[in-house]
Amino acid sequence: MKLYSYFRSSAAYRVRIALNLKGLSYSAVPVNLRQGEQLEAPYRSINPQGRVPALDIGDTILTQSPAILEYLEETHPEPPFLPADPEMRARIRAVSAIVGCDIHPLNNLSVLQYLKHTLGHDQAQIDAWYAHWIRQGFDAIERLIRPGSYAFGAHPTLADIYIVPQVFNARRMDMALDAYPNIVAVDAACSGHPAFQAAAPDQQPDAV
């Protein structure tokens, strides 16, 4: 498998974690979002949306991290990202959706660039926007997860795959996380897991 990725992309970070948890080997192909490589014709031929990640599985290319994560879970069920219990699966999916549907889309690089270059907001306003949506999501996640040691028990789940990259983003923006001890505890547990360690942005070939 070949993963088109950018070291600081939250969506690509999720897929790296997932591939590592499933024990799947892949080669990383960096796509420099800051230099706009994702919008150029060569990459658009891989992913028409011009975003990362994209996962080349040999006979086709998969895009959008939620779809890729579902594919990995369906084709490589061990270890599972979701438990057997339907109610717990729904809870885990809800936490994942808070990050994937509510926080991350509003803080995506393309959104931040639109705020700056099209709407004319200064960096302080953009930083405030960024922090607002993280806090709004984290306020809910903090109350929904039950660390032990991971977000929903003794093993990593889909929720952990979503939470860790978002914590990385918050720290990169120098956000205080004192109000989120559960989230911090989950991130700490994941930081000791080899799959998360290998997926970390500073471990990627394009890390700068």
Question: Which residue ranges in the chain fall short of pLDDT 50?
Answer: none
Give the pLDDT of residue 15. Answer: 98
CA distance 115 to 123: 9
100 and 71 share a domain?
Answer: no
Look up the CATH number of the domain holding residue 50: 3.40.30.10
177 and 131 share a domain?
Answer: yes
Phi, psi of 132 (to 5 degrees): -60, -45
Q: Is 208 part of any domain?
A: no
pLDDT digits (tens, 9 = 90+) for 95-123: 999 999 999 999 888 899 999 999 999 99
Output Rg (C-alpha) for the chain, integer angstroms.
17
pLDDT digits (tens, 9 = 90+) for 81-93: 999 999 999 999 9
173 and 126 share a domain?
Answer: yes
Residue with tokens 């990640």: 53
Beta bridge partners of 3: 28, 55
Q: Which of 111, 13, 99 is nearest to 53 (CA)?
A: 13
Q: Is 125 part of any domain?
A: yes
Three-state DSSP at 193 gives coil
Q: Last residue of some domain: 61, 79, 97? A: 79
The total number of structural domains in the chain stands at 2
Listed in sequence order, the DSSP H helices in the chain are 10-21, 41-44, 65-75, 86-97, 109-113, 123-144, 158-172, 181-191, 194-199
Give the pLDDT of residue 108. Answer: 85
Give the pLDDT of residue 57. Answer: 98
Q: Is 165 part of any domain?
A: yes
Give the pLDDT of residue 148. Answer: 87
pTM summary value: 0.95
Q: Which domain holds residue 156?
A: 86-196
190 and 101 share a domain?
Answer: yes
CA distance 57 to 96: 24
164 and 109 share a domain?
Answer: yes
Q: Last residue of some domain: 47, 64, 79? A: 79
